[in-house]
Amino acid sequence: MVVRRLLIGVFVMWGAASVIFVIVRAAPGDPAAVFLGPDATKEQIARLTATLGLDKPLFEQYVRYLGDVLRLDFGESYRLGRPAMEAVFERLPATVDLTLTATAIAVVAGLALGLVAGSRPGGAVDRVVSAATIALQSFPTFWVGIMLVLTFALGLRLLPSAGVGTPAHLVLPAVTLAFPFTAIVARLTRSSVTESMREPYVQTARSKGLSERQVLLGHALRNSLIPVVTIVGLQMGALMGGAVIVENVFAWPGLGSLVVDAVANRDYAVVQAVTLLIAGIVMVLNIVADVLYIRLDPRIRTEARS
């Protein structure tokens, strides 16, 4: 099972590497020209292009790039003058902090909201939660971020508006990033719990004299979690993409600001390194989600074994 997923993962990584290779080169702008600035002569640009290996035919560049990637060599950042992956790994912890905090917020808040709403579908709490989650999902992240800064940093002066240093700095960007994710988890949990609460085994649980809370937490929740786990796994990947925008709003020194700089400066190696790293992380998360899914559902566990 896991072996097969890993094999598929290798193909996915190859695809991601190829797509990003084409996209960075298809985007207008010449790295050498951008780096040397408007005063550079044609000879200077040509020399730098040759040094970077960008004068070779595209196919030759591609084969060399894949070969390097296989040896875990992700190239030099011509702007930073050091290995691209080194720069990426330097920024990774900040992004991981941000996405993990956002995930924790989204899972806790989303599960709680979804459980309360789903245990009494059509009730007052359910209607408020449903309306709120639609709102949360529709607001663009950058707008939510700016609104939170206006309210909590500039208005109430409770939290820093940007930068890093203390845990307080983490609050606004993490909450901003968690907003749409919370909505997704809450809506999915709600529908999943509502569905589970209609199952005959819930009636059986009630017939044992359990309280509604015991029925909900002891019988409905476990089965409701199965789809939620999958979505959390998949969405964490998307969250790293969302982090790019949030990091720029809050001047958070993670992968997001690094990759925006790199794209602006046509720093191919860095863009490729970031992309491959995120693709790898998403792949691992998906496998983890699949394994958890199997752990949670004994019916699939049996199938997987046989």
Partner 1 sequence: MMGGRVTAQHPDKSGTADPPHDGPLLRVEGLVVDLPRPDGAAGDTVRVVDGVSFDVPAGTTVGLIGESGSGKTMTALSVIGLLPDHATTGGELVWRGKNLLRPDTDWRRVRGHQISMIFQDPLAALNPSITIGRQVGEILRRAGRPRAEVRHAVIDLLDRAGVPDPERRMNSYPHEFSGGLRQRAMIALALAGSPSLLLADEPTTALDVTVQARILRLLRSIQREQGLAMLLVTHDLRVVAHVADEVVVMYAGRVAERGPAGAVLRRPAHPYTRALAASVPAVRTKTALADPLPGSPATPANRPSGCAFHPRCPLARDRCKAEVPQAREVAPGRWSACHFAEEVFTP
Size of the site for partner 1 (CB under 8 A): 23
Residues 140-199 that bind partner 1 (CB under 8 A): 199
Q: Pull the structure tokens for residue 1.
A: 């099972």
8-state DSSP, 54: T
Q: Does 210 bind partner 1 (CB under 8 A)?
A: yes
Report the distance separating Cα 278 and Cα 8, nearest Å: 16
Q: Which residues, at least 6 apart from 62, have a Cβ–Cβ distance to it below 8 Å?
A: 18, 21
Report the distance separating Cα 247 and Cα 141, nearest Å: 11
Q: Does 89 bind partner 1 (CB under 8 A)?
A: no
Point out which span in 38-46, 201-209, 244-252, 274-282 binds partner 1 (CB under 8 A): 201-209
Point out which span in 71-79, 86-94, 208-216, 237-245 binds partner 1 (CB under 8 A): 208-216
Query: In the chain, what is the straight-line distance between the N-terminal and C-terminal CA atoms, in Å?
Result: 11
- Per-residue interface string for the shown chain with partner 1, residues 214-243, x marking contact by CB under 8 A: x---xx--xx--x-----------------
Whose Cβ is closer to partner 1: residue 155's or residue 209's?
A: 209
Q: Does 36 bind partner 1 (CB under 8 A)?
A: no
- How many residues are there in the chain? 306
**Closest CB 206 distance from partner 1, rounded Å:** 6
Report the distance separating Cα 41 and Cα 171, nearest Å: 48
Report the distance separating Cα 181 and Cα 93, nearest Å: 21
Residues 275-304 that bind partner 1 (CB under 8 A): 296-299, 302
Point out which span in 35-43, 70-78, 152-160, 206-214 binds partner 1 (CB under 8 A): 206-214
